[in-house]
């Protein structure tokens, strides 16, 4: 098992771009990828695998693969199971591990735990994905406040989508988190696009 701590990709909401960012970070670090809880299809693991072009990264199977594209706790309930994060264990790898969450930080996985509790369990450093839209400052600052309240370490923020300099600067000033990358709208998301962003991102990591 790799002695370095994993990175946990979370976001301010469900459609903020975690899977794309997970692919970029995985490519940048030539890391392994793991999504412990998948609710609905297609699987994000398969998507990341199609976007990562290096030959080192490995893609680990989900601990919970649920059919319904809803909150993990609701999807599990429909299938008559309960997600138990205490039984989760990291995949066996000597490589850096990228863990992708589900939805935002306070998406419930059962009656007691939230997605962010997985990051805490594995002492992972968070990379926060934020997309800019009307109301996103509020959603981003609420997420930041929760991360700070829980004393979760944060590597930095990645903005995803069209630029809004005023909103982005306000968020960065408030959070005091570094800006790792800005991913802009692309006509098509390809392995080449992912690799281009990955090369920009490498500067923020000790590889």
| Tens digit of each residue's pLDDT (9 = 90 or more) over 99-113 | 999 989 999 999 999
Domain 1-6+31-124: CATH superfamily, name plus number = P-loop containing nucleotide triphosphate hydrolases (3.40.50.300)
- Work out whether the CA dihedral 81, 23, 91, 179 comes out positive or negative: negative
The secondary structure of residue 108, as a DSSP letter, is B
Q: Which of 5, 35, 111, 121 is catalytic?
A: 35
Identical fold, 1-6+31-124 and 125-207: yes
Alpha helices in 30-115 (DSSP H): 44-51, 72-78
Q: Is 17 annotated as a binding residue?
A: yes
**Among the listed residues 120, 117, 139, the one whose alpha carbon sits nearest the alpha carbon of residue 129:** 139
Structure confidence at residue 163 (pLDDT): 92
Q: Is 40 annotated as a binding residue?
A: no
**31-72 pLDDT per residue, tens:** 999 999 999 899 999 999 999 999 999 999 999 999 988 899
Whole-number percent of the chain with pLDDT over 90? 88
Q: Domain boundaries in the chain?
A: 1-6+31-124, 125-207
Q: How far apart are CA 131 and CA 79, in angstroms?
A: 32
Confirm whether 35 is a catalytic residue.
yes
Q: Is 135 annotated as a binding residue?
A: no
Using an 8 Å Cβ cutoff, are 7 and 98 in contact? yes
Alpha helices in the chain (DSSP H): 18-29, 44-51, 72-78, 116-121, 136-149, 165-175, 191-201
Tokens of 154: 């944060």
Q: Is 53 annotated as a binding residue?
A: no
Using an 8 Å Cβ cutoff, are 12 and 130 in contact? yes
Q: What are phi and psi of 10, to 5 degrees?
A: -130, 175
pTM of the model: 0.95
Asked if the 125-207 domain carries CATH number 3.40.50.300, the reply is yes
145 has a pLDDT exceeding 90: yes
């Amino acid at each position: 098992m790799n002695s370095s701590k994993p990175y946990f990709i979370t976001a301010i909401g469900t459609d903020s771009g975690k899977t794309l960012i997970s692919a970029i970070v995985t490519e940048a670090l030539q890391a392994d990828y793991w999504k412990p809880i998948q609710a609905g299809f297609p699987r994000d693991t398969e998507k990341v695998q199609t976007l990562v072009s290096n030959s080192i990264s490995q893609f680990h199977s989900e601990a919970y693969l649920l059919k319904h594209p809803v909150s993990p706790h609701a999807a599990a309930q429909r299938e008559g199971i309960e997600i138990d994060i205490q039984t989760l264990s990291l995949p066996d790898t000597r490589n850096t591990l990228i863990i992708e969450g589900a939805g935002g930080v306070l998406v419930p996985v059962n009656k007691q735990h939230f997605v962010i509790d997985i990051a805490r369990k594995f002492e992972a450093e968070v990379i926060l994905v934020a997309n800019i839209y009307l109301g996103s400052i509020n959603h981003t600052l609420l997420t930041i406040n929760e991360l700070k309240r829980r004393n979760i370490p944060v590597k930095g923020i990645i903005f995803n989508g069209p630029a809004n300099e005023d909103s982005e600067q306000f968020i960065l000033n408030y959070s005091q988190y570094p800006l790792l990358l800005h991913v802009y709208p692309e006509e098509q998301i390809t392995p080449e696009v992912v690799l281009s962003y990955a090369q920009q991102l490498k500067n923020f990591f000790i590889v």
